[in-house]
Amino acid sequence: VSEASPIDALIDAYNDCIDQEEYERWPELFTEKCLYQVISREDFLAGRRSGFVYCDSKGMLLDRVRTLRSVNLYEPHRYRHMTGRSTLAQGDGCTSARTSYMVARISQEGDTDLFSTGEYRDEIVVEAGRALFRKRIVVCDSRRISNLLALPL
Amino acid sequence: VSEASPIDALIDAYNDCIDQEEYERWPELFTEKCLYQVISREDFLAGRRSGFVYCDSKGMLLDRVRTLRSVNLYEPHRYRHMTGRSTLAQGDGCTSARTSYMVARISQEGDTDLFSTGEYRDEIVVEAGRALFRKRIVVCDSRRISNLLALPL
Amino acid sequence: VSEASPIDALIDAYNDCIDQEEYERWPELFTEKCLYQVISREDFLAGRRSGFVYCDSKGMLLDRVRTLRSVNLYEPHRYRHMTGRSTLAQGDGCTSARTSYMVARISQEGDTDLFSTGEYRDEIVVEAGRALFRKRIVVCDSRRISNLLALPL
């Protein structure tokens, strides 16, 4: 059985913890000081900082998960991620990765729709043999996104 | 030209025989005694056995294909599969694989929709150098699925 | 950081130049004398030559991009590609590749839909260490496709 590279394993673990609704595993994929941002492609390319979501510490990610769990015992919907091959480059003490995604949303009633497409723009570091996100910017192709962005995208 | 691993080749062959409408190749990807099941995630997680489809031998799979071919000369629709990287683990005399999927359905008229998302939970054995499914459970994210489940998912 | 194979890199570069709206990079992925065709699966299997798009030189591809850019300063929509693992075979002085795709379309207003599914049937040659398409036939699962096929699929 071949092993995925640490970077592929990190990207798969991200998809997996969300799709399995094990959201508590999600903040553990980031470094303590980190950036998690969801932004439209239009705003990203224009260099704007404001987006749909902006978290700059693991603490903020943990808060999001706590809120999510306390507000809704049963989630109104669930996601399924599909990601392409990552394009990698060596950056400033990290590996930069760019990865296309499609995310489907499945409602409680069972309706399935293509919720969001775009790309992940990541900075990934390896700490003690394990890859972690120092930065993950979710660049959404669409300028509109549901304000029901409770779940991590 | 690099070769896909036997397990990746099996997963690709599964997608391919369905998407090419060469359904006769589909049962050949399973061992004689096998399990092929389509079940909602909700039922799967609750440990229920009943699902949308349940076949526990290659003979039952062959029957499904024969029925499919005899009832409809022209299929009312066709599928296109997209699968992610598999997560592998060594199991009881087999390799366990978990693989996310998205399946699009294309109608005779040409309408395309995202028909089903979920994950394949497989037990794969290698017989005479060739990988085969001993078990493939199709765990659908949605609790609803068309009762037109004539085609293998 | 592991490197993608030249063929995977070519397929990724194709998806990327379209999804990033850098259409000028698109013709550069083909040999001078080449074939780029978009055709329905039905017509392809019947051996018909006529399809939605037919270009048999890099010059024609360059023309398409020039037209695209001159007509619309702002594109009415954008694509996002997702492709599966390629099935490869050694052919006549080239590598043949077959790769499933799903393409989402994102409108200016932000609507996202699954626009087209199908497979790429490619003949790829390596010139001076770089892989290029000698032939790319886009075989669409649907018999209908928007006549707004301005963007390369």
How many Å apart are CA C27 and CA C63, to the nearest integer? 10
Interface of B with A (CB under 8 A): 5, 7, 82, 84-85, 87-90, 95, 100, 102, 114-119, 141-145
Contact B5 A2 (CB under 8 A): yes
How many Å apart are CA C63 and CA C75, to the nearest integer? 17
- Is pLDDT larger for residue B17 or for residue C129? B17
B chain contacts of residue C117, beta-carbon cutoff 8 Å = 80, 104, 106, 112
Q: Name the residue type at position A50.
A: S
In total, the C-beta contacts within 8 angstroms joining chain A to chain B are 54
Closest partner residue to B110 (CB to CB) among C84, C85, C142 is C142
Q: What is the mean pLDDT of residues C3-25?
A: 94
In A, minimum Cα distance to B117 occurs at A80
How many Å apart are CA C30 and CA C14, to the nearest integer? 10
Looking at the DSSP assignment, which residues form a beta bridge with residue A83? Answer: A101
Whether the predicted pLDDT of A1 surpasses 50: no
Percent of chain C with pLDDT over 90: 75
Closest partner residue to C88 (CB to CB) among B1, B15, B113 is B1
Closest partner residue to B88 (CB to CB) among A1, A19, A81 is A1
Question: Residue A51 — pLDDT band, cuts 50, 70, 90?
Answer: confident
User: What's residue C1's pLDDT?
Assistant: 46
Percent of chain A with pLDDT over 90: 75
| Lowest pLDDT segment from A31-35, A137-141, B140-144, C17-21 | B140-144
Contact B104 C117 (CB under 8 A): yes
For B12-62, write each residue's pLDDT tens digit: 999 999 999 999 999 999 999 999 999 999 999 999 987 888 999 999 999
Whether the predicted pLDDT of B1 surpasses 50: no
How many Å apart are CA B52 and CA B107, to the nearest integer? 21
How many Å apart are CA A88 and CA A45, to the nearest integer? 20
Q: What is the mean pLDDT of residues A26-50?
A: 94
Q: Which of B1, B77, B100 to mutate to test the interface with C (most CBs of C within 10 A)?
A: B1
B chain contacts of residue C124, beta-carbon cutoff 8 Å = none
Q: Which of A69, A55, A24, A63 is nearest to A135 (CA)?
A: A55
For B67-91, write each residue's pLDDT tens digit: 888 876 566 899 999 999 999 999 8
User: What's residue C109's pLDDT?
Assistant: 87
For B99-111, write each residue's pLDDT tens digit: 999 999 999 888 9
| Lowest pLDDT segment from A23-27, B68-72, B122-126 | B68-72
CA distance B134 to chain C (A): 23
User: What's residue A150's pLDDT?
Assistant: 78
User: What's residue B73's pLDDT?
Assistant: 58
- Do A104 and B114 form a contact (C-beta atoms < 8 A)? yes
CA distance C23 to chain B (A): 25
Q: What is the mean pLDDT of residues A51-73?
A: 88
How many Å apart are CA C86 and CA C11, to the nearest integer? 9
CA distance C36 to chain B (A): 22
Q: What is the mean pLDDT of residues B130-137?
A: 97
User: What's residue A82's pLDDT?
Assistant: 98
Hey, is A14 helix, strand or coil? helix
Question: Cα A34 to chain center, whole Å?
Answer: 13
Percent of chain B with pLDDT over 90: 75
Tokens representing B100 are 């996310």
The verdict on ipTM greater than 0.85 is yes
Q: Which of A80, A102, A103 to mutate to test the interface with B (most CBs of B within 10 A)?
A: A80
C chain contacts of residue B12, beta-carbon cutoff 8 Å = 84-85, 87
Q: Name the residue type at position A90.
A: Q
Please state the φ and ψ torsions of residue C87, each to the nearest 5 degrees.
-95, 120
Q: What is the mean pLDDT of residues A90-110?
A: 94
Closest partner residue to A117 (CB to CB) among C2, C80, C109 is C80
Please state the φ and ψ torsions of residue C141, each to the nearest 5 degrees.
-65, -35
Closest partner residue to A80 (CB to CB) among B95, B141, B145 is B141
pTM of the model: 0.95
Q: Which of B1, B10, B2, B46 is nearest to B129 (CA)?
A: B10
Question: Residue C147 — pLDDT band, cuts 50, 70, 90?
Answer: low
C chain contacts of residue A147, beta-carbon cutoff 8 Å = none
**Across all residues in chain A, what is the average pLDDT?**
91
